[in-house]
Structure 1
């Protein structure tokens, strides 16, 4: 059994994929939310693309008199392309294109309107109140750098600047496996000794949240089905970038996942980690004719696998996705409640990070065992407690990894 620290496990996994470069595809903005840009996205046009009015008002040819003839009224999206002579004005709405002959916009609040004529009541400098072409950016300017996660705001910018096909990294292909005869899926009948397969929903959702295209399969761990399940996993693993499994990696009689991985030709990187919860773990790599598939075998216990997933799988997924930043933010917090646990190894405590009077505080979950489940509903951070740290009382300072 090769036991390593979490730092060493990450180093070995990272080294197993040293020169990975994700493939690139072009997709529409409607498909792109949450994807990672593979190339710089530039402005296809100036913004704004025409001279426009910042508010409702009157566009005039020049300023120097008080009384004007209103020759047209236009709304947004309409262009007045006729001549506008001195002493004439065009009524326009916010965002309208200013007619070519006009050099000033008078706010409507500065005008008294009398039928087809209007009188200017306030002084306005000539050339005022016109937003010029390209005020925000010129054509060709980089508006979204490569390696950026496309948020709703970023998509708005990309579309607003004339982009329709966006260059993004192809989603990593992940095979996700759960293991155990004790597991039944939601909606199925549960017999004595069985539990619902909450991991199937937890980790498929997390994998998709972090940008993966997921294929799911359940391994029963029954000895009479092992050969058939090995064949199924081998078939499903083809062309995948990553395999993630929960359960079957400890030292029980029916913990068969390492055996399955060995049958797939995996090279073991480690098979236990010195941390709690989450020590039961397997790391490996398959070299499939030059295509490397990383393997992360996680504990079947929800809290343990949740921790290992965020500490090991998320950095890999972010790398496969082409993201620049792989790490979670680390925030120094004050403990709301004490953590009365011995720490012979590094410990990662689940809980919730919030703010009180502008200061970060961390509230640990009530149950801190490997198999705890309920706390996952509100966990957004992991408090890191270094090996050898004494038990901590309320008010103590801890460092927390913010997961959201």
Structure 2
């Protein structure tokens, strides 16, 4: 049995970036990571631009200026100003070449023909220079940049319509168990509604991984081998839930061995999620998670998340970990480190009731996991404890 720290290190070390490129429309590239540097095709702004509503001036020593016209955003005409002349101008409008300063409208008096400014201003005051954000030919965004909404807007403002990004992994979710039926069917004696696949699918979608397929297999050895062989050969990441323990009908471990999957670790000293498997076959990474839903989701956030980040060639492999003050009393049972469902709020964290690995009700209320190492047997109110912040 491996420790949590060794298990995390193994997932980090054995994971591999996909390093495959795909082309996306910029507006559909949110959450992707740039595969190569993006160079700006234009200056931004593409002309000297007014930063304020006011008056563009050809500066001279007097405070009075002759008003000769107006320039608003979108205008393409070029007014020529002599010294001591001004034009009314609006935010975003092109600044005439001869203008070398803009006074905001609140500090100007106008009679329609002449204006008087309150005080002298410096050259280029309130003028956005050509290429202030980026110049044509310069790098606009570097390879490895995650495309946020701001990045999408920035690229589109440069006239860029498509980008080369790291391909996201194709992912297969495999659920096992004869007791599992689809929600909506009659719940007969001995059956339970299968929730793990949709739960993990939702977690993946929230992280913007959409190339996901779901496969269900009965507790029959040959069918388990056949299904796993297919998904391993056709996906970058395989996530299996259930069937990885040592019961008479837990066939996943045996099937992975027959398929010559390299076992990187099996069983982690932790609660929940002790029977966790991680392995590889070729470039495909395989996680076999416990069947209990809360254990499966905990393992997803602590381990599978790292693998996904690694595939996307990101530096921030783990979810954020911070220190917070406990507002709860909790006594740990056993000597295994635990991941406890919790609610974090402004530096405080509440450890919730109902920590059983089969229970999702508590997890549904959580936005964090408290990490209680094996050396910590009891958490008191006021204790400083480590908290893993979950994606929202």
- Given the two structures, how large is their TM-score scaled by the length of structure 2? 0.90
Q: Where do residues 150-299 of structure 1 align in structure 2 (5 Å cutoff)?
A: 150-212=147-209, 213-221=211-219, 223=220, 226-287=221-282, 292-299=283-290
CA distance in 2, matches of 1:386, 1:399: 9
With over 3 angstroms needed to count, the CA separation of the structure-2 counterparts of 1:318 and 1:20, relative to structure 1, is: closer
CA distance in 2, matches of 1:14, 1:55: 50
Structure 1 window deviating more from structure 2 (321-330 vs 122-131): it is: 122-131
Give the unaligned 5+ runs of structure 1: none
With over 3 angstroms needed to count, the CA separation of the structure-2 counterparts of 1:261 and 1:309, relative to structure 1, is: same
Q: What is the aligned partner in structure 2 of residue 77 from structure 1?
A: 74
2:284 is paired with a residue whose SS is strand
1:345, CA displacement in angstroms? 1.5
**8 Å contact kept, 1:176–1:245:** yes
Tell me the alpha carbon deviations over residues 50-109 of structure 1, each in whole angstroms, 9 at most, x when there is no partner. Answer: 111121122233434555554332321112224333454322211111012222323323
Tell me the alpha carbon deviations over residues 231-250 of structure 1, each in whole angstroms, 9 at most, x when there is no partner. Answer: 34423332311111111111
**8 Å contact kept, 1:211–1:317:** no
Give the unaligned 5+ runs of structure 2: none
State the Cα RMSD in Å.
2.4
With over 3 angstroms needed to count, the CA separation of the structure-2 counterparts of 1:203 and 1:240, relative to structure 1, is: same
With over 3 angstroms needed to count, the CA separation of the structure-2 counterparts of 1:312 and 1:82, relative to structure 1, is: same
1:162, CA displacement in angstroms? 4.0
Q: Where do residues 31-70 of structure 1 align in structure 2 (5 Å cutoff)?
A: 31-65=28-62, 68-70=65-67
The counterpart of 1:333, out of the listed 319, 324, 343, is: 324
The counterpart of 2:310, out of the listed 303, 310, 319, is: 319
Aligned residue pairs, count: 389
Q: Confirm or deny that 1:305 pairs with 2:300.
A: no
With over 3 angstroms needed to count, the CA separation of the structure-2 counterparts of 1:179 and 1:133, relative to structure 1, is: same
Q: What is the aligned partner in structure 1 of residue 105 from structure 2?
A: 108
With over 3 angstroms needed to count, the CA separation of the structure-2 counterparts of 1:192 and 1:43, relative to structure 1, is: same
1:323, CA displacement in angstroms? 0.7
Q: Confirm or deny that 1:125 pairs with 2:125.
A: no
1:273, CA displacement in angstroms? 1.4
Structure 1 window deviating more from structure 2 (346-355 vs 187-196): it is: 187-196
CA distance in 2, matches of 1:54, 1:333: 43
**8 Å contact kept, 2:54–2:102:** yes
Q: What is the aligned partner in structure 1 of residue 349 from structure 2?
A: 362
Q: Confirm or deny that 1:387 pairs with 2:381.
A: no
CA distance in 2, matches of 1:231, 1:133: 62
Tell me the alpha carbon deviations over residues 303-338 of structure 1, each in whole angstroms, 9 at most, x when there is no partner. Answer: 111121122111111000111110222212221111
CA distance in 2, matches of 1:41, 1:377: 41
With over 3 angstroms needed to count, the CA separation of the structure-2 counterparts of 1:295 and 1:66, relative to structure 1, is: closer
Q: Confirm or deny that 1:22 pairs with 2:19.
A: yes
Q: What is the aligned partner in structure 1 of residue 390 from structure 2?
A: 403
